[in-house]
């Protein structure tokens, strides 16, 4: 409930019907019996091949579809298979055992592409090297299923004349009802526990989303936020703890402190609105995709609320029949290491066109060895596709040939940029909220409110008095509420003492005659 | 389990001796070695006697007499690439998976496997694929 601080009218937060569709990512009955990854590739090939085969008649109906083993030299045909990209610089476990080490650079490059990369197409019967200028290896990765049209050359390669990707999956129609505005807020990369984490910045976000900040207009916007999704990397456990050695008692606090701090913030959030929290690569969850939900026992305070939902990574949910799908960033980061595109949004577009959330799994991205399914296949195109833990906020509206409309969002790391994203549920519009570094923000508002308050006092207009005991007049309601919040900080119950002392003295600097109006 | 044949097999080995091999048996062992790939157990056996083609599949020596039509049908099901890789999945599970994918696997394979499930436990190796324990 977002109570207005000034008036008596209470604003009610909007509600939306939520359906969690993570069931296919949860590992429940699967048992590991020593199987390898051949089964997940088989399932992927089978599923994608049936989809491509329904598209081939619209593409090139006159050509026969062959298996790789059935290729004849010089005969034009279409083959469907899984792509494998042979990369010289891709790190391999066998390099540790090779005698000559000079070829492998000790410093790992961020991107493993080289000009020698080539593509190979593989199906159950065999594999064939793909040649020709049509397929640029830098745009493809291992693990995607495509159809190629061409012919076998005398060297045994397959010369590609054209290729077909599955394209965007069919989309369920977006519901056209409600004139109401509803927003979904996304944030990722909080990294509680690192030096980059700024508790004041996150507290600002919490206050804004829960409606404790601002005048009625601001609170009205906050009341339209129906859900907050935390897309991964909410906490950071120092990697020194992962060495396998026992943790000394004096280090116990360092291990649990980030989790407890996050729980305090989360409890404030879940008391106000439904929150979905996803695991990321730095969170205490399993490494391989799909990452299982963070355990309830980590969040002693927040898990008591039924608005707290711990989700898998990737996360698929539905709000008022609008489909949201997203990950914490590992799939796009892996694509970035093994292929090239002009921005991260283009990688996201490609995964949608290939109808697979994480095509490099299990090749270079850890993945569970499923036997009877591949859960990352995209059966129906989502309406909103988000990826967390990226460098900057980017968004694009993707239009498909069958009237599909997808809003692609790249969510930046909050600890670095202070940016959260709000998505309008209906028209796929998104905007970013920037939470400025608190010092400048407070200074700004303080100065404005101070000026206005002084001006009002000089004109004998009754100023808006701050609710705290200091009686300091602030010119704007926003400034007034911020001052109230700051006064609560002065008591030191939210911030540690040195920081609140800093703000106290800063406040004194600008208002030497506090409580003197 | 035809234990008589095993005893016969061992008896033949003792007759030909351990370290010193008479020339006749060495030539026959060479012949038998060229005929059958996993050589270990076929040392010293005469070429006329049927020697096991596969050793230690699921821990038991697989003798050709047991390898009947049922096992042949199961192995053909294993090797069929249409239903995907066979290693790492049990045969029945693979059959169920193929049926769920709409590939129409041969129904008599399932009947054999279900029949074995209700039968004796000595044939538990039939539920594992051909390459189980070997790869």
Which of B81, B97, B100 lies nearest to residue A125, judging by beta carbons?
B81
Return the pLDDT at B38.
43
90-129 in chain B: CB under 8 A from chain A: 90, 93, 97, 100-101
Number of H helices, E strands in chain B: 5, 2
Taking Cα atoms as reference points, which of A323, A197, A348, A168 lies closest to residue A259? A197
**Chain B contact set for A46 (CB, 8 A):** 84, 101
CB–CB contacts below 8 A, A to B: 34
For residues A359 and A56, the answer to whether their CB atoms sit within 8 Å is no
Tokens of A173: 């129609």
H or E element at residue A352: helix A344-353
Q: Is B38 helix (H, G, I), strand (E, B) or coil?
A: coil
CB atoms within 10 A of CB A146: 22
A129 & A225 share domain: no
Average pLDDT for A402-415: 92
Domain assignment present for A172: no
Task: Select the more confidently predicted residue: A497 or A324.
Answer: A324
- The DSSP H or E segment spanning A326 is strand A322-327
For residues A426 and A453, membership in a common domain is answered with no
Q: Which of residues 59-88 of B touch A (CB under 8 A)?
A: 81-82, 84-85, 87-88
How far is C-alpha B98 from the geometric centre of its chain's CA atoms?
Answer: 24
Do A228 and A115 lie in a common domain? Answer: no
Whether residues A292 and A383 share a domain: the answer is: yes
> Which residue range forms the structural domain that includes residue A455?
441-516
Q: Is pLDDT above 50 for B76?
A: yes
Residue to substitute from A31, A42, A48, A126, interface B, most B β-carbons within 10 A: A42
CB of B135 within 8 Å of a chain A CB? The answer is no
Token representation of residue B56: 């230690």
- Do the Cβ atoms of A39 and B101 come within 8 Å? no
- Are residues A449 and A376 located together in one domain of the fold? no
Q: Which residues of A touch B104 (CB under 8 A)?
A: none
Based on the fold, state whether residues A312 and A375 are members of the same structural domain: yes
- Dihedral angle sign, alpha carbons of residues A220, A221, A226, A228: negative
**In this structure, what CATH number is given to the domain that contains residue A49?**
2.40.50.430
Give the mutation candidate from B101, B104, B134 for the A interface (greatest A CB count, under 10 A). Answer: B101
Provide φ and ψ at A470, rounded to 5°.
Answer: -75, -15
Band of the pLDDT at B43, cuts 50, 70, 90? low
Task: Tell whether omega for the bond before A314 is within 30 degrees of 0, i.e. cis.
Answer: yes
Is A124 a member of any domain?
yes
CB contact under 8 A, B84 and A46: yes
Question: CB-CB: which of A34, A42, A125 is closest to B84?
Answer: A42
Contact B84 A39 (CB under 8 A): yes
Q: Which helix (H) or strand (E) holds A86?
A: strand A76-86
Inside any domain, residue A391: yes
Is position A171 within any domain? no
Cis check: omega of the bond before A371, within 30 degrees of 0: no
Q: Please name the residue of chain B whose CA is at the shortest distance from the CA of residue A39.
A: B85
Burial class, A220, CB count within 10 angstroms (exposed 0-12 / middle 13-18 / buried 19+): middle
A35 and B88 within 8 Å at the Cβ level: the answer is yes
Query: Residue A36 and residue B88: Cβ atoms within 8 Å?
Result: yes
- pLDDT of residue A272 exceeding 50: yes
Does a structural domain hold residue A169? no
pLDDT over 80 (residue B116): no
Closest B-chain CA to A124: B81
Is residue A302, in this structure, part of any structural domain at all? yes
Residue A31, min C-alpha distance to chain B (Å): 11
Tens-digit pLDDT profile for residues A418-454? 888 888 876 656 666 776 555 445 555 555 555 555 5
Are B84 and A43 inside 8 Å of each other by CB?
yes
A10 and A158 belong to one structural domain: no
- Comparing A348-362, A374-388, B72-86, which segment has the lowest mean pLDDT? B72-86
Asked whether residue A340 is assigned to any structural domain, the reply reads yes
Interface mutation vs chain B, best among A29, A39, A126, most B CBs within 10 Å: A39
Which tops the pLDDT comparison, A212 or B12? A212
A362 preceded by cis ω (within 30°)? yes
Which domain-ending residue is among A400, A434, A468?
A434
Average pLDDT over residues B58-68: 56
Nearest to A34 among B85, B88, B93 (CB): B88
For CA atoms A217, A223, A229, A235, give the dihedral sign: positive
Q: Is A158 found in the same domain as A285? A: no
Domain holding A192: CATH number? 3.60.21.50
Q: How far is CA A161 from CA A133, A154, A165, A306, A339, in A?
A: 8, 16, 14, 56, 22
User: Last residue of some domain: A397, A415, A434?
Assistant: A434
A47 part of a folded domain: yes
Q: Which of A434, A458, A486 is the last residue of a domain?
A: A434
Do A283 and A137 have their domain in common? no
Contact A393, A64 (CB under 8 A): no
Residues of B with Cβ-Cβ distance to A34 under 8 angstroms: 88
Query: What's the whole-number mean pLDDT along residues A376-386?
Result: 94
CB A511 within 8 A of CB A449: no
Q: For A254-286, give the DSSP string.
A: HHHHHHHHHHHHHHHHHTTS-EEEE--TTSSS-
Count CB-CB contacts under 10 A for residue A126.
13
Same domain, yes or no: A499 and A351:
no
Element (H, E) at A415: helix A414-417
Q: Which residues of A touch B128 (CB under 8 A)?
A: none
Does A396 lie in the same domain as A460?
no
- Contact list in A for residue B87 (CB cut-off 8 A) is 35-36, 38
Q: Residue A205 and residue A417: Cα distance in Å, rounded?
A: 13
pLDDT the model gives residue A452:
54
Q: In terms of C-beta density within 10 A (0-12 exposed, 13-18 middle, 19 or more buried), how is residue B135 classed?
A: exposed
- Residue A386 forms beta bridges with which residues? A326, A409
Calculate mean pLDDT across residues A137-144: 94
Candidate from A39, A46, A125 with C-beta closest to B88: A39
Nearest residue, CB atoms, B85 vs list A39, A125, A372:
A39
Q: Which of A32, A34, A38 to mutate to test the interface with B (most CBs of B within 10 A)?
A: A38
Q: Could you give the CA distance from residue A22 to residue A168 in angstroms, rounded to a whole number?
A: 21
pLDDT digits (tens, 9 = 90+) for B13-42: 455 444 554 444 444 444 444 444 444 444
Asked if A390 and A458 sit in the same domain, the reply is no
ipTM beyond cut 0.90: no
The closest of A272, A186, A291 to A1, measured between CA atoms, is A272
Chain A hits for B97, Cβ within 8 Å:
371-372
pTM, entire model = 0.75
> Is B87–A38 a contact, with Cβ atoms under 8 angstroms apart?
yes
Cβ-Cβ contacts under 8 Å for A93 (sequence gap 6 or more): none
Q: How many domains does chain A have?
A: 3
């Amino acid at each position: 409930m977002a109570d207005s601080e000034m008036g008596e009218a209470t604003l009610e937060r909007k509600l939306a019907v939520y359906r969690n569709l993570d069931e296919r990512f949860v590992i429940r009955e699967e048992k590991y019996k020593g199987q390898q990854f051949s089964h997940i590739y088989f399932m992927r090939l089978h599923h994608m091949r049936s989809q491509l085969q329904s598209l081939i008649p619209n593409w090139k109906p006159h050509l026969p579809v062959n298996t790789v083993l059935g290729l004849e030299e010089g005969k034009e045909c279409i083959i469907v298979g899984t792509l494998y990209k042979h990369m010289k610089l891709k790190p391999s476990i066998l390099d540790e055992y090779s005698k000559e080490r000079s070829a492998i650079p000790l410093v790992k490059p961020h991107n493993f592409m080289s000009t020698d990369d080539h593509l190979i197409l593989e199906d159950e019967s065999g594999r064939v090297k793909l040649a020709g200028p049509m397929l640029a290896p830098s745009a493809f990765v291992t693990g995607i299923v495509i159809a190629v049209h061409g012919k076998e050359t005398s060297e045994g390669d397959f010369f590609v004349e054209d290729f077909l990707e599955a394209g965007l999956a069919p989309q369920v129609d977006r519901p056209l009802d409600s004139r109401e505005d509803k927003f979904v807020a996304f944030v990722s990369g909080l990294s509680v526990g690192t030096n980059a984490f700024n508790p004041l910045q996150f507290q600002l976000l919490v206050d804004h989303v829960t409606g404790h900040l601002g005048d009625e207009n601001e609170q009205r916007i906050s009341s339209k936020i129906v859900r907050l999704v935390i897309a991964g990397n909410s906490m950071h456990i120092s990697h020194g703890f992962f060495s396998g050695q026992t943790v000394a008692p004096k280090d116990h606090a360092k291990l649990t402190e980030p989790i407890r701090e996050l729980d305090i913030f989360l409890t404030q959030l879940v008391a106000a609105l439904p929150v979905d929290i996803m695991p990321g690569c730095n969170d205490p969850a399993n490494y391989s995709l799909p990452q299982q939900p963070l355990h309830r026992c980590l969040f002693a305070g927040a898990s008591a609320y039924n608005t707290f939902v711990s989700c898998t990574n990737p996360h698929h949910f539905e709000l008022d029949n609008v489909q949201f799908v997203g990950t914490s960033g590992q799939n796009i980061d892996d694509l970035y290491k093994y292929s090239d595109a002009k921005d991260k949004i283009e990688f996201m577009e490609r995964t949608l066109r290939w109808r697979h959330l994480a095509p490099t799994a299990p090749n270079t991205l850890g993945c569970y060895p499923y036997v009877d399914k591949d859960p990352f296949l995209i059966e129906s195109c989502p309406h909103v596709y988000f990826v967390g833990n990226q460098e900057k906020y980017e968004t694009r509206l993707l239009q498909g040939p069958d009237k599909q409309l997808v809003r692609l969002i790249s969510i930046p790391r909050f600890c670095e940029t202070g940016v959260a994203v709000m998505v309008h549920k209906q028209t796929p519009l998104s905007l970013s909220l920037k939470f400025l570094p608190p010092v400048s923000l407070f200074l700004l508002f303080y100065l404005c409110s101070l000026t206005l308050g002084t001006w009002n006092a000089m004109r004998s207009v009754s100023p808006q008095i701050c609710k705290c005991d200091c009686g300091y007049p602030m010119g704007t309601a926003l400034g007034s509420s911020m001052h109230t919040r700051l006064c609560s900080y002065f008591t030191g119950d939210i911030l540690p003492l040195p920081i609140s002392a800093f703000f106290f003295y800063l406040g004194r600097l600008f208002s030497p005659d506090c409580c003197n109006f | 389990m035809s234990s008589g044949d095993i005893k016969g097999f061992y008896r033949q080995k003792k007759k030909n001796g351990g370290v010193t091999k008479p020339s006749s048996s060495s030539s026959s062992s060479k012949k038998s070695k060229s005929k059958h790939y996993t050589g270990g157990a076929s040392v010293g056996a005469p070429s006329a006697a049927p020697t096991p083609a596969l050793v230690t599949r699921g821990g038991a020596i697989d003798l050709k007499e047991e390898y009947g039509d049922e096992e042949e049908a199961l192995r053909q099901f294993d090797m069929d690439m249409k239903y995907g890789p066979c290693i790492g999945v049990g045969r029945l599970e693979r059959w169920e998976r193929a049926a769920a994918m709409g590939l129409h696997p041969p129904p008599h394979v399932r009947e054999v496997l279900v029949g074995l499930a209700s039968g004796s436990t000595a044939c538990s190796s039939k539920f594992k694929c051909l390459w189980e324990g070997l790869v």
